[in-house]
Structure 1
Amino acid sequence: MSKTVLVLGANSDVAKEAILLYLKKGYQVIAASRSTAEIATFMETRNVSIQQLTISYFDATAFETHEQFYASLPAKPHIVLYAAGFQVTNEQALVDWQGSFRMMQVHYAGAVSILHIIINDRENDHLERIIGLSSLSGVRGRKSNFVYGSTKAAFTQYLAGLRQYLFARKVTVNVIVAGYIRSKMTAGLDLPASLLMEPSFIAREIVQAGSRFTIVPGIKWKFIHQVLKYMPERLAARLP
């Protein structure tokens, strides 16, 4: 019997590429998102076998629906990927509370809500891995994106504690700390082309995740990650 992957936030560019890779490896995939029609259209263009794929409606911010969503799944997951995302600019976030709050809900509160339901299901004794798609923006506070970055930092720290909590149950928790990704979320932003990574590249890192907690895709971004992490505050304050 093939294993099941539950992808939350399945309409993200990275998530869709990860779904394709999981399907190629023979997994059953439950693609969960608010944008079910978009996922269906995307999968049709890729000639995906409907025998391997289930598309389900999931809203990370509708916390009151999460219990029912999980109870209605056609199979309990072996692997869970949380890839839901939402972003407004820092300038907008500073004057638009709803935009800030939605980032907090999607990146952190929604993740905690559904993941708690999943890990508290002790009848699912084959849960083996939880992967969260986070961001390098959460490594160090920067004046250009600290509101968005703070929501990703919270998510990363939650996953770090969850990894320890689930250690005795032999459930591996990974966080993908990604830099700039060429996607609909970054479309229109003035980003260095040499640092943009393709969604398919990030997806491969997800599907091939091993035992390490922090996975930073890309050699350049591994270097940047270390610089940001250990840079003295007097220098970090000068970052854009």
Structure 2
Amino acid sequence: MVKAVAIKNRVMKTVLILGANSDVAKEAMQLYIQQGWQVIAASRSLSEIDQFIATRNLPSERIITRYFDATAFGDHAAFYAGLPAKPNIVLYAAGFQVTNEEALLSWEGSYRMINVLYAGAVSILNLVATDGGNPGLERIVGLSSLSGVRGRKSNFIYGSTKAAFTTYLAGLRQHLEPRKVVVNAIIAGYIRSKLTAHLDLPESLLMEPAFIARHVTGAGRRFIIVPGWKWKIIYTILRILPENLVARLP
């Protein structure tokens, strides 16, 4: 009976997942459900989320799906105002990526990465952060990337959007500190996902979405969270490496 009461009380709290169709977001959704949270899964691909819920046999009564397009800035205010519950946790996991060569040759690819990975995040998270009618906001988690730590010739366009996103989250953390709202940036390395399936990445450095999701749902108070010991070493090296050596990296 005590266990049932505890779960019932936790269900009253809500996690809003933006970009819920990403591989990491779907794994995080399952973990949040297991921890007793209600989830609002927001994405452009609601049919794929429904399929995931059915495949994993997740309790549909604990998951609310909503259409969300990170690039439809004009719709964000109405989307947020129309949520069935105020979120206690918000996870921004929307993703999009093309190769650096494609981004250089096609402004459309660059522009979409900028909008999905940075501008869309700022648009919706500004609404979350400035909502004075939500005193229950506890945490905002952003899925960023090691690609944003230093500019590198192989992926500087994608990396620049992640660098901007991490910087935004850092300032947002300071802004929300008086309200005791925690902001976390998950600085992830290579993830085995549908976004990276077309890339030639070293197998020894690939991380599973479920592994990253555990760091998302288990985030403490630290701002920067780098999953994986190999990537912690790489992150540290990238931060201290002189620019002339960074320029030699692929």
Q: TM-score, normalised by structure 2?
A: 0.95
Residue of structure 2 in register with 1:223 after alignment: 233
Question: Within 5 Å, which residues of 2 pair with 1:64-75?
Answer: 64-75=74-85
For residues 186-225 of structure 1, the aligned pairs below 5 Å read 186-225=196-235
The answer on 1:59 being equivalent to 2:73 is no
Deviation at 1:88, TM superposition (A): 0.6
SS at match of 1:47: coil
CA–CA separation in structure 1 for the residues paired with 2:248 and 2:215: 31
Match of 1:25 among 35, 51, 54: 35
In structure 2, the partner of 1:104 is 114
1-structure distance, mates of 2:127, 2:241: 38
Gaps of 5+ in 1: none
Q: Structure 1 counterpart of 2:168, which letter?
A: Y
Say yes or no: does 1:10 pair with 2:20: yes
Partners of 1:205 and 1:116 in 2: how far apart?
24
Residues of 2 paired with 1:49 and 1:72: CA distance?
23
Letter in 2 for 1:225: Y
Instruction: Give identity over the alignment, percent.
Output: 68
Partner of 2:59: 49
Q: In the alignment, what sits opposite 2:100?
A: 90
Distance 2:201 2:241 in 1: 22
Q: CA deviation at 1:188?
A: 2.3
TM score, norm. by length of structure 1: 0.99
Distance 2:244 2:144 in 1: 26
Q: Partner of 2:242 in structure 1? A: 232
1:173 and 2:183 matched: yes
Q: Is the 8 A contact 2:21 2:49 kept in 1?
A: yes
Per-residue Cα deviation, 1:26-78 (whole angstroms, up to 9, x for no partner)? 10000000000100011111111111100110000000000110111110000
* C-alpha distance in structure 1 between counterparts of 2:239 and 2:29, whole Å: 31
Q: Tell me the residue number matched to 1:40.
A: 50
Alignment length (residue pairs): 240
Return the offset for 1:119.
1.2
Among 118, 135, 149, the alignment partner of 1:125 is 135
Superimposed CA distance per residue, residues 159-210 of structure 1 (whole angstroms, 9 cap, x where no aligned partner): 0000000000000000000000000001021111000000000000000000
Give the Cα separation in 2 of the matches to 1:119 and 1:233: 35
Unaligned regions of 5+ residues in structure 2, if any?
Answer: 1-8
| Alpha-carbon distance in structure 1 between the residues aligned to 2:167 and 2:140 | 14
Show the 5 A alignment for 1:129-140.
Answer: 129-140=139-150
Amino acid at match of 1:236: V
Cα RMSD of the aligned pairs, angstroms, is: 0.5
Following TM superposition, by how much is the alpha carbon of 1:120 offset from its aligned partner in structure 2, in angstroms? 1.3
